Amino acid sequence: MFVTEAQAQTAEPTVGTTPIPAEPVTHGEHTEVPAGEHHSGVFPPMDTTFFPSQLLWLTISFGLFYWVLQKAILPRIGGIIENRRDRIALDLEAAEKMKSDADEAMAAYQQELTAARERSHLIATAARDSAKVDAEAERVRIEASLDEKLVAAQTRIDDIKRSALADVGAIAEDATAAILDAVAGLDVPRDEVAGAVRAVRS
């Protein structure tokens, strides 16, 4: 028994056998869709017949995501933010303390520098005054020493002068007596010759 192609496509499958889907028939460049298959030409997610199931799965997915977000992700993010906030607060506090310490150190340094300048000025003034006093004392001591040496020299000069004058008188007396004896042949007493010499010297 011969079965035509149209009868084979429309024939009902026998009981107990697996239905074989009909293959589309190609005539040249055109493909014919077998009978019994229907294509609406609408993208399935945009098909209104699938909206209830899509909304159901969207609600379930959103609920699961929200639950995971609330139970796992948000607490962890909140903990990280809290730790970061605490760390920033500690860093700011430490920076403020360091700034305060630096300001105190700078103030102490300025105070010590001012005190050191005042001490150096006082030391310089005291050294200058002490040098002036020492120089004045040294000048007075040198002048006193020079005065003493001058007095001693003057005394020595006077002694030498008196000694020289005394020698000159004796020499003059001897010379006068010798001249009178040699020239005039006179033997004049020593006392008269000394008196005459003293009278001439005075």
- CB-side exposure of 177: number of CA atoms within 13 Å? 14
Asked whether residue 104 is assigned to any structural domain, the reply reads yes
User: Tell me: the pLDDT tens digits for 36-58?
Assistant: 444 556 777 777 788 888 889 99
Q: Is residue 92 part of a domain?
A: yes
pLDDT at 63 over 90: yes
pLDDT in tens, 122-179: 999 998 898 888 898 888 999 988 988 888 888 989 888 777 766 666 777 677 777 7
Number of domains in the chain: 1
Full domain range(s) for residue 195: 80-201
CA-nearest of 118, 136, 116, 117 to 128 is: 136
Is 50 part of a structural domain of the chain? no
**Three-class secondary structure of residue 25 per DSSP:** strand
Domain presence at residue 107: yes
Q: What is the pLDDT of residue 113?
A: 92
Is 97 within a domain?
A: yes
Residue 75 covered by a domain: no
Distance CA 72, CA 175 (A): 148
Give the whole-angstrom CA distance, residue 113 versus residue 104.
14
Task: Answer yes or no: is 98 within a domain.
Answer: yes
DSSP letter for each residue of 33-101: PPTT-------GGG-GGGHHHHHHHHHHHHHHHHHHIIIIIHHHHHHHHHHHHHHHHHHHHHHHHHHHH
Residue 127 lies in a domain: yes
- Helix (H) or strand (E) holding 137, with range, is helix 74-179
